[in-house]
Amino acid sequence: MTQQPSVILATASYDRSIRFWEAKSGRCYRTIQYPETQVNRLEITPDKRFLAAAGNPHIRLFDVESNNPQPVMNYESHTNNVMAVGFQCDGKWMYSGSEDGTVKIWDLRAPGCQREYESRAAVNTVVLHPNQTELISGDQNGNIRVWDLTANSCSCELVPEVDTAVRSLTVMWDGSLVVAANNRGTCYVWRLLQGTQTMTNFEPLHKLQAHDGYILKCLLSPELCEPNRYLATASSDNTVKIWNVGGFTLEKVLVGHQRWVWDCVFSVDGAFLITASSDTTARLWSMSTGENLKVYQGHHKATTCCALHDGAEPSC
């Protein structure tokens, strides 16, 4: 058993490996070979014990604390690339979205898929509303759907731009905003209004032309970043832009990656951002200065996703 670091930072690459890093020193202390497929998405469980790797067409769960190179659990029933994975706040269940057109829910304490929702197009992104009772998915045909887990049905459908793939979705920690980023470099922002029921209603708030290229990931800042509220957009133009959510004004452009930036994740206090790029590196940035503080080098092909957990266990 290895000593578990208080900060878990992991990246995955087209070189078919997952690497764990010491965030401050930049040292890679563990590598897991993942020979079957590339990894599309990484997510760490709320209790920091496990790392989920979404591949094609399965999800593998690895033990963060041991050096065991084998997964402790395999989740099989998707039939194509799994593009999204995440956890409910107390870690009892996991959700996923796949290019097979489905969104699935998995009980981590039992084998097999518990629920399945049909999106009818390749799913690129899924986020869990902070109320823990709604999943929001975005697909290749440009549809955004809200899946009400209590009613077990689709409660809302929107198409911000016809036939323009929704690449990434993000929800503000208090459930007040949702942002959708697409293949044309546009972010659509809605205010989320709670109706008399738990059903969420979308009120259009802003349309932001953030990049000329694709937006590959959009992410709103966490609760401990308050009173500052930021939106990060990672793009095929090799940059990450930081927007002030107050008026959606551009605060900073993070320049340093040489190729597409596929993924980004905030530190728990919003003071830092980690990014993953096709230039094979991951980078650590200061949100206050926009400075690149650390480069994580070790992968030898595109680094496509990153996961960070540097906070305490959330209380649901």
- Tens-level pLDDT at each residue, the chain (316 residues): 344 568 999 999 999 999 999 999 999 999 999 998 999 999 999 999 999 999 999 999 999 999 999 999 999 999 999 999 999 999 999 999 999 999 999 998 877 899 999 999 999 999 999 999 999 999 999 999 999 999 999 999 999 999 999 999 999 999 999 999 999 999 999 999 875 455 678 999 999 999 999 999 999 999 999 999 999 999 999 999 999 999 999 999 999 999 999 999 999 999 999 999 999 999 999 999 999 999 999 999 999 999 999 987 666 6
The confidence score (pLDDT) of residue 315 equals 60
C-alpha–C-alpha distance, residues 157 and 127, integer Å: 15
In sequence order, the β-bridge partners of residue 20 are 10, 30
| Radius of gyration over every alpha carbon of the chain, rounded to an integer in angstroms | 18
Buried b (16+ CB within 10 A) or exposed e, 72-109: eeebebbeebbbbbbbbeebebbbbbbbbbbbbbbebe
Instruction: Choose among 144, 169, 139: nearest CA to 155.
Output: 144
The confidence score (pLDDT) of residue 314 equals 65
21: left (phi over 0), alpha (psi -120 to 50) or beta: beta
Q: How far apart are the first and last CA of the chain?
A: 29
Burial grade of 130 (CB within 10 A; 0-12, 13-18, 19 or more): middle
Instruction: Choose among 40, 67, 73: nearest CA to 54.
Output: 40
Contact 307, 42 (CB under 8 A): yes
Burial grade of 123 (CB within 10 A; 0-12, 13-18, 19 or more): buried
pLDDT in tens, 53-82: 999 999 999 999 999 999 999 999 999 999
pLDDT in tens, 292-313: 999 999 999 999 999 999 987 6
C-alpha distances in angstroms, 217 versus 125, 181, 185?
9, 7, 10
Q: The whole model's pTM is what? A: 0.95
Buried b (16+ CB within 10 A) or exposed e, 219-253: bbbbeebeeebbbbbbbbbbbbbbbebeebeebbe
In sequence order, the β-bridge partners of residue 275 are 264, 283
Q: What sign results for the dihedral spanned by CA atoms 26, 27, 32, 37?
A: positive
Contact 187, 233 (CB under 8 A): yes
